[in-house]
Amino acid sequence: MTGWMHHLIIAPILVPLVASAILLLVDERRRATKAMISLGSTIVLSLIALALFRVESGQSDFEGVYLVGNWAAPFGIVLVLDALSALMLLLTALLAVPALVFSLARWHAVGAHFHSMFQLLLMGVNGAFLTGDLFNLFVFFEVMLAASYGLLLHGSGALRVKAGMHYIAVNLVAALLFLIGVSLIYGTAGTLNMADLAARIPEIEPDRRMLMEAGAGILGIVFLIKAGMWPLCFWLPTAYSAASAPVAGIFAIMSKLGIYVILRLTMLLFGEGPSASFGSVVLLYGGMATLIFGTIGVFASQALGRLAGFSVLVSSGTLLMVLGINDGAISSGALLYLVSSTLSISAFFMLIELVERGQDAGANVLAVTMEAYGDAEEDELEESDGVTMPGTMAILGICFAACAILLSGLPPLSGFIAKFAMLSAMMGTGAIGVPPTAAIWTLIALVITSGIAALVSMTRAGIRTFWSSIEGTVPRVLVIEIVPVMFLLTLTLALTVQAGPAMQYMDATIRALNKPSLYIDAVKGAASLPGYRDSGTSSETGGK
């Protein structure tokens, strides 16, 4: 990657940063202007992410190292673009555009500085995916959290404020733990650059290594909180279900940020050497507990928002469990599952608002009561000759059915392909150093059971919403609200059609992660460019 394309690596951070600064200067009453600036920035960001993804997927050498300030590692700030970070950048952009378009219908106008906070959130998330050192990971993590606080509270309301206060308290504790973990790692290893840290860990004395691993464990707690591992996940379903629809849609990527950092640090720092497989047991059994908890929550949820929130936990539990197994073939299917589940959950969060817009809360309670105890007059009702379904409800019903198929992992969509890839790898390929076969069969049973629970819950909710709803009100849905949902579901369809190339990309990504030397050599071998002072000095010397 040479020339101007090399500078695109920093663009996913600069573009939303500049856009948020410009938006702060625009008067809050000029909603249309702010919306156009924010939308234009997000579209440009998506094009940049797509260009970086195409470049990264087509190159054979690791060249995506950007020295910010032109200082070589480990002394300067380093941004690193590889197959995994390029994938996560593209996934973030694909969520950001439809979420922002959805908000233009009404949500962006119900509070101040929505677009500025949205852009800062994108900056923090993209920076966390690109950074090559732990300190700047903390910086971008805090930028993301600060923006998410305002976005979660956007729109006010007692429930949203209550959930927001819990969310802020939990994440402030996580930020404190982040600083403690980073301090312990720096005190023992003497560096926070990820590549330099990976090279130094094998040389650390055993007594100091224990302190370094304690710091890494504390740092892991931070990202397990963000990923939603049990028992650190009780805040997540409430916070995500209380957020406005477009905010919940973009929040779907934030839990995957925790998964990304755990995968990155586990493979880079603890993939081999004396600390190999550090924390894998915690990830395995913590993922199993999270999957069980999320499955129970999905099965027990009556409200669609809670169902979507627990679906996030099911996704996180599955991914954490696979990280604990640490097998390449299973991990490739897990990456495909990460992309598919994130797109599906984001679409489902936005769809929920459109579906519930035509319902009455009291009618939902009465419907649940009738389902449990029956209706005294149901035997006296005559069967109708047919059901007339308006076009709006038909479109919403099709989108709801697609979300149900994706979340439960039924064929033929990408959710099924991803789960099939993981399960077939568990049963057929085996893994080195994994628990006994009985444990693998337990994992398979949990994945299948979670899909059945999602199918039952989504079917029950769909029948109550679209078939036997007491209130027959047809919701008013705008084009800019339904199109983002359909766009995300279309992406899952495209992922289904292109499952072969997608799996090849995931396989290549996992193979690269299993060779941390590629990352280390690329970062430590990146040379700073000659500056104007060097050029002037050399010219001066030559003239003399």
Distance (Å, whole) CA 24 – CA 30: 11
The DSSP annotation for 243-267 comes to: S-HHHHHHHHHHHHHHHHHHHHHHH
Report helix angle 114-130 to 31-58, nearest 10: 10
Instruction: Report DSSP state, residue 80.
Output: E
Distance (Å, whole) CA 7 – CA 5: 5
Q: What are phi and psi of 155, to 5 degrees?
A: 105, -10
Burial track 107-118 (b if 16+ CB lie within 10 A, e otherwise): bbeebebbbbbb
Distance (Å, whole) CA 142 – CA 124: 7
In this predicted model, which residue has the larger pLDDT, 338 or 392? 338
Is it the case that residue 232 has pLDDT exceeding 80?
yes
Terminal alpha carbon distance of the chain: 37
pLDDT in the model for residue 61: 55
Q: How many residues are there in the chain?
A: 544
**3-class DSSP assignment, residue 77:** strand
Distance (Å, whole) CA 335 – CA 511: 12
pLDDT band (50, 70, 90) for residue 75: confident
Is it the case that residue 488 has pLDDT exceeding 90?
yes
Instruction: Kindly give, in sequence order, each residue whose CB lies less than 8 Å from that of residue 460, ignoring residues fewer than 6 positions away.
Output: none
Q: Among 199-208, 218-227, 520-529, which stretch is predicted with the lowest mean pLDDT?
A: 520-529
Is it the case that residue 272 has pLDDT exceeding 80?
no
Q: How confident is the model over 394-404, as a mean pLDDT?
A: 89
The DSSP annotation for 97-132 comes to: HHHHHHHTTTGGGSSTTHHHHHHHHHHHHHHHHHB-
**3-class DSSP assignment, residue 233:** coil
Distance (Å, whole) CA 70 – CA 83: 23
**Greatest CA separation for the chain:** 108
Which among 258, 308, 301, 278 has a CA at the least distance from the CA of 210?
A: 278
Tokens of 44: 């440009």
Is it the case that residue 404 has pLDDT exceeding 60?
yes
Q: What is the pTM of this model?
A: 0.87
Is it the case that residue 362 has pLDDT exceeding 50?
no
Distance (Å, whole) CA 193 – CA 118: 28
User: For 95-146, how does the pLDDT look when each residue is reduced to its tens digit (9 = 90+)?
Assistant: 999 999 999 988 888 878 889 999 999 999 999 999 988 989 999 999 999 9
Is it the case that residue 384 has pLDDT exceeding 50?
no
Instruction: Report DSSP state, residue 60.
Output: S
In this predicted model, which residue has the larger pLDDT, 363 or 349? 349
pLDDT in the model for residue 383: 41
Distance (Å, whole) CA 126 – CA 118: 12
